[in-house]
Structure 1
Amino acid sequence: MKCLSMLAAALAVAGSVQAAEVQVAVAANFTAPMRKIAPMFEADTGHKAVLSFGSTGKFYTQIVNGAPFGVLLAADDATPARLEREGLGGSRFTYAVGRLVLWSRQAELVDAHGAVLKAGKFERLAVADPKLAPYGAAAYETLTKLGLLDTLRPKLVQGENIGQAYQFAATGNAQLGFVALSQVQADGKLKEGSAWIVPLSMHTPIRQDAILLAKAKDNKAAAAFMQYLRIDKVRAVMRAYGYEH
């Protein structure tokens, strides 16, 4: 705890000497906490994080094709590991462990055990593309474990990323959606509707890794940002949105 506080102070001093800027590719599920963390980072260090939000799979393609990102905050650990193997980055670590949730904007539609899925009394279930989004892969794993994937497949509405899956559910285009807990929770409480937090035993853990990309190996803002993700007050923001460490 004391070390992390000292780190925060050191970052602030370093930032006051020479401010810099880093482009950060952020997995869609991490949008809400990142919008809080970015201004904190600038206030504490003087450095600026320029944010882009989207699917981890698409970010990978963009990075391989030369996109000028300095840091990737992925929705998985496999993509950063792949980038590291390919010589496109390093210094990766798990910044958060995400939680999958079955959510509806309707207050009483989702019960505490997810039995609404077996009842099948809904028209559409939003999920993210499992090939591009780890939360989508976790949703498919969950449905498979429940023995419901084939039964519910005709009702699935697939978004490119978890942000789009959330929009389908939030607008009512889908009565239910498998989304990130961070999208429907703030300050430790459900913002609206009803939800079933999927037990961790239902799918592979959603370990979300950060990686410093090769284009930013000499970027002071990028290095400072990677360190900043580890300090106590940043982790507190993540916990408020349902992430574990």
Structure 2
Amino acid sequence: MIRSLKTGAMTTALLMAFAAPVAAKTISFTGLFEAENYPGGSSPFAEQPATLDVVIEIDTEVPSDMYQELPGNGSASEYSSAVTSFTYEAVGAGGASLGLWSVTDLVMVVVDAPVPNINTFILNSNTATGPAPLDTLFLLMEGDANIFSGSGLDQLTTQTLQAMHTGHLDLFTDVDGMGFGIRFAIDFDSIEVVDDMSPGDTPPSAVPLPASLPLVLAAFGALGLAKRRNKRA
């Protein structure tokens, strides 16, 4: 019994004290309604959409599936499994929620192309789940080539994405040969990127560092107490 308590205390304290944070980025922004196209059909929304609130979570330790060098010391990288979560909620002009979508199997492309002077951030998926019939997503952000200095995931920061000058998020599908779709323009001022591994940031952990030391000491104290009890027995 004592040995079990001793081992459990040590394991719990050490795991909580030294648990490594997950390397991740969370990108959030608001899309502003720009246009819709429903030829021959009715809109799936109860009221006119107004905004789209987007949250993207990225595992920054996932390597690229494809890397290509471009002219002018540029590069392009493609990631098929770096996005761990992508959700967005449409809000109507009257303030009501029009639906919440979740997207999987996203392909992400980051391009730094000094020639022809453009940076590009793309996300594409046809597996969005939420209110029918929209099931396909295409996100595009573009800016001048001097914004990025490569095509790695470390380039995706609040400063770099807010510096982009063009961006939109399209939701669409194909029903009976007719394209249904809606476009939201990205509000670049609303972009926020939280990077758990940025210098100066405090990575999230199960127990803050100042509180973890007492846990470790308590575990060693429990170990010493168990030894004394064994000797007395």
Instruction: Mark yes or no: TM-score above 0.5.
Output: no
Larger radius of gyration: 2
More relative contact order, 1 or 2 (CA 8 Å, 6+ apart): 1
TM-score (norm 1): 0.23
In proportion to residue count, which structure has more helix? 1
In proportion to residue count, which structure has more strand? 2
